[in-house]
Structure formats: C-alpha cells, structure tokens
Amino acid sequence: MTSPLSYRGRFAPSPTGLLHAGSLVTALASRLDALSHDGTWLIRIEDIDPPREMKGATEHILATLDRMGFVSDEPILYQHDRYEAYEAALETLKAQGFAYGCGCSRKAIQEASVALGLPQGVYPGTCREGVHGHVRAWRFRTHDTVTTFTDRVCGEFHQNVERDVGDFVLKRADGFWAYQLAVVVDDIASNITHIVRGQDLLDNTPRQLLLYDALKAPRPTYYHVPLVLNDEGQKLSKQSGATPLNPDDLLGELERAATRLGLPKIGADSLDVFWVKALELWKLTQSNTL
Ligand code: GLU
C-alpha cells in the first residue's frame, strides 16, 4: 500500500517521434525531481494515437532512455493496454452526468461556433441537452467556473474551461481515446503524486483537474518545465524540425539538457558522475519549490 505522502512521478512520452533535446529536458527534470524526493519514477508510453505514431519510436525512446540511465522503477505502462480502464472511467463519468454523447461533425461545430461568435475551437455545446444524430464522440460537461492550481514553476494558473475550451472530448469520433482522459486515468491508477512535464501542457491542466475531481481522486502537484525553443522561437518538436539525440554523445546531450534546466555546468566524465552531480545541483536550485 502506497503512503499518501510518498512521491510518485513519471515521464510519459508519446511515440510520435524520436526523443529530442526538448523531451530529454522534461525526462531529466522529472527523474531528478523524483530522485531528490527519494521518490518512485515511472515511464509510461502514451501510444493511444496510432494515426500519429512513428514506427519504431517506442523502441528508440526506451533504448535511448536506458542508455542514459533512465530506469523505470516499475514495469513500463503502455496506453494501448489500458482501453478497458478508459472505458470504465467513461462509464463512471456517464453514470454521474459528467459525460455526454456528441453527434456533431467537425464542420457542424465550426459553423455553430462561428454563428455564436465563440473563440476558434470552443465547442458550442450543441449536444448538451441531447445528441444530434448518432453518438460519434463523448464529451466532458463543463460549467461556468474557474479552475485554479498553483504550478511549481509558473505559479497560480486560472482557467474557465467552459469559456476557453468548452466541453472537451473524452473519446474521439474515430474511436480512439482522448489524451485528457487517458492521462488522468493512468496517473490515478499509478498513484502519481507529482507531475513534471513540458509547459506546452500547462493549459491542459485545468481540464485534467476537472477529471480528477469528477473521478473523486486527489489532485497531483504540477511542475511545468520551460520549453526548449528553436532559433525561430518555436517549441522544439518533431514538427518544428527537432533533430533526434546524437547516439554517440548521450552524455553531452544530458549535459546540454541540464544547462537548459538552469543547472550550472556539470562537466562529468561519465554517466554515473553526471547523475550524482546533477542531483546535487537540482536539490540546490529547487530548494525553494514545493
Ligand atoms: N505524452 C505527452 C507528450 O509526449 C505528455 C503527457 C503528460 O506528461 O501529461 O507530450
């Protein structure tokens, strides 16, 4: 039985591309944060979006992490094995009035939100009181309230999910599970207490907190790591041309990731020394966060 106070963290890459400098910074921050709390650290492969996946990426990510000394403390979880858990969570949400079926096509949503003057992408609530046509997707019912949390990096964050996002998708029209539901169901099942991930996900957090509350699970704490940007100021990602890590210089890649996290230059001559020194420095620089 896990003590409610023990630290459990995770790194949850999506195999839509190879590990690159940006994802390495997140992996390093989450591992160092878990180590500095004498916590448990897990790897989860978020392979719930087959159309966006890259063949061989999972194996590449895991092998590269392993070579750099990132070892999951428990068996690696694969989201493609978790469909039953997502279905069960959706049933719970439906039974309690938190989820409803939606029959809108992308075009119908676009037209209705333009007619109502809603911001781009905000669902107009068309099927809230009853599905139009047949159920294509399942959505979470939001309300006009502000969700607030305190991020360890960014401080207080507020969002009115109904106004800024609308009733968001839990299960997609193509039958695949939405990231928002899968990530929360898995983090709850793994008893994750501390989430460390990229700042691109900061504004997804209020949606996920609504799911924690609806599923009656305790909220985790959040540390949203600043993004690594390319020369044009875009987030480093496969889409913005991030090159995969250099397999012949993984120590150098770790050193650069540590610098990007704001740690002083380490200059280690082996992986073992790198991890010891990086941990010492992380503890020093983080002593003022939760
Ligand atoms: N799978 C997500 C990604 O690769 C991360 C999800 C999370 O950490 O919550 O960006």
| Residue 198 · residue 228 · CB < 8 Å | no
Task: Say how many C-beta atoms besides its own lie within 10 A of residue 171's C-beta.
Answer: 22
Ligand 1 centroid to Cα of residue 184, in Å, is 11
Residue 197, ligand 1, Cβ within 6 A: yes
Closest ligand 1 atom to residue 13 Cα is 4
Q: Are 135 and 90 in contact (CB under 8 A)?
A: no
Q: What is the reported pTM?
A: 0.94
Mutate to test the pocket of ligand 1, among 30, 197, 235 (most ligand atoms within 8 A of CB): 197
Do the beta carbons of residue 159 and residue 208 sit within 8 Å?
A: no
Sign of CA dihedral 228, 234, 235, 236: negative
Condensed to tens digits (0 to 9), the pLDDT of residues 249-277 reads: 999 999 999 999 999 999 999 999 999 99
- Per-residue model confidence (pLDDT) at position 1: 46
CB 236 within 8 A of CB 230: yes
Residue 238: the pLDDT is 62
Distance 117 CA to ligand 1 centre (A): 31
Radius of gyration of the chain (CA): 20
- Angle, nearest 10°, between helix axes 205-214 and 179-189? 60
Q: How far apart are CA 69 and CA 45, in angstroms?
A: 17
Ligand 1 pocket mutation, candidates 10, 11, 14, criterion most atoms within 8 A of CB: 14
Beta carbons of 159 and 167 less than 8 angstroms apart = no
> Along the 290 residues of the chain, how does pLDDT read in single tens digits?
445 569 999 999 999 999 999 999 999 999 999 999 999 999 999 999 999 999 999 999 999 999 999 999 999 999 999 999 999 999 999 999 999 999 999 899 989 888 888 888 899 999 999 988 899 999 999 999 999 999 999 999 999 999 999 999 999 999 999 999 999 999 999 999 999 999 999 999 999 999 999 999 999 999 999 988 777 777 766 666 677 899 999 999 999 999 999 999 999 999 999 999 999 999 998 865 55
For residue 65, give Cα distances in angstroms to 11, 16, 73, 74, 88: 11, 16, 13, 15, 32
Ligand 1 pocket, residue 227 CB under 6 Å:
no
E strands, 55-205, in order: 77-78, 99-102, 137-140, 146-151, 155-160, 169-171, 194-198
DSSP character at residue 223: E
